[in-house]
Structures are given as structure tokens and as C-alpha cells.
Amino acid sequence: MLKKIKNKVVNYLFLQIQELQRKKELQELESLKKQFKKVGIGFGLGKDYSILNPQFMEFGDRFWASHRFRIEAIAEYEGQKFNPIISIGNNVAFNTDIHIGCLDKIEIGNNCLFASRIYITDHDHGDTTTLNLLLLPPAKRKLVSKGPVVIKDNVWVGEGVAILSGVTIGENAIIATNAVVTKDVPANSVVGGIPAKIIKFIQ
């Protein structure tokens, strides 16, 4: 009898702790939403997210990112100053382990779907055309950008993809698993490989 009572008390306390944790997470999310430049309805994040400088970020309606979402708007690095813009449209969903880094502009349209372990960046550490740069450790090299990243509407990005700076991905494009996108992707196309190349057009 005592064992049953003890188990009920333990279960009750466990549920209470879970409920307190859930309320804390909701409060943190509501506080975060107030820091964004703009955020639509239905915004949601999984656990263990990391968000740098939310004041430079805009989200449309029904945005969702699963666990370990990392998004960074870089305003300063090693004495450099930037004015980053991150703009994400409506009905955009990210799976787990996403990393987005921006010092210039990253724009994602509506109805885009992203799998897991995806890296999107509009910059690099250092200019690879300058040999003298190698005298500095990578973390001390200046950040450089080849231009914004633009991902247009209805794009589907597969598992393990990297999308690099200066790239525009056209409407309805599909990026195959583990592709590294270094050049523009036409609308209605499927691309894959390292570097990504056109596999076919969807007709």
C-alpha cells in the first residue's frame, strides 16, 4: 500500500515538474518573439535553439524549426561592422540541426521545406585569393561575402545540404541530399552533387 502511495506521489511530482518546465519554455519563447524585427502567427521552435541578434530577423506566419536550430545575424566580428537581414516567409519548416549564418542578407520565400543538418551562409572566413591571409588563424580572418542568399517559394532542401553565399535558388527547386550549392539554381529544377549541378528539370 505504501509503495503504491509513494509511486503516485513520485508520478505527481514528475508531472508537476514537466508542467513547470513547459511553462518556462513557453515564457522564454514569448519573450524571444518580442525581440524579433517581425514575427507572424504560429511561430514555433523545438528544444536547444540558439539565436544571435533576433532584432535583425523577420518571420512570416506558421514558421517551425525543430530541435537545435541555430540562426545568427552577425552585426560585428573582429572589428568589422555589418547590417544583416534575415527574412523568412510563410509556411516554412526546418527539421533538426539547422545552422543559418548571415552578415549581408538571407531571404527565404513561402512554403519552403528543409530536412535536417542543413547549413545556409552568406559569408566565409577570409578571402582565398590572398596568400598573406594564411598568416592569420582562420578565426581571426575577416568575414567576406559573395552576396546574399535568396531561396524562392516552394523550395525543398534535402538532408545534409550546404547553401553558400551569392546563390539564388529558383521557385519549386529541389536540392538533393548532401549537395553543396555554390551557384544559382534554376526554377523547377532538381540539383545534386558537390558542387551541385542540374540533374533534371521538372516539366
Positions marked active-site: 125
Q: Enter the C-alpha cell of residue 105.
A: 542578407
The one-letter amino acid code at 89 reads: G
| Phi then psi dihedrals of residue 99, to 5 deg | -130, 120
| CA-to-CA dists, residue 4 to 11, 13, 189, angstroms | 11, 14, 62
Peptide bond into 137 cis (omega under 30): no
Q: What angle do CA 183, 185, 188 make, to 5 degrees?
A: 175
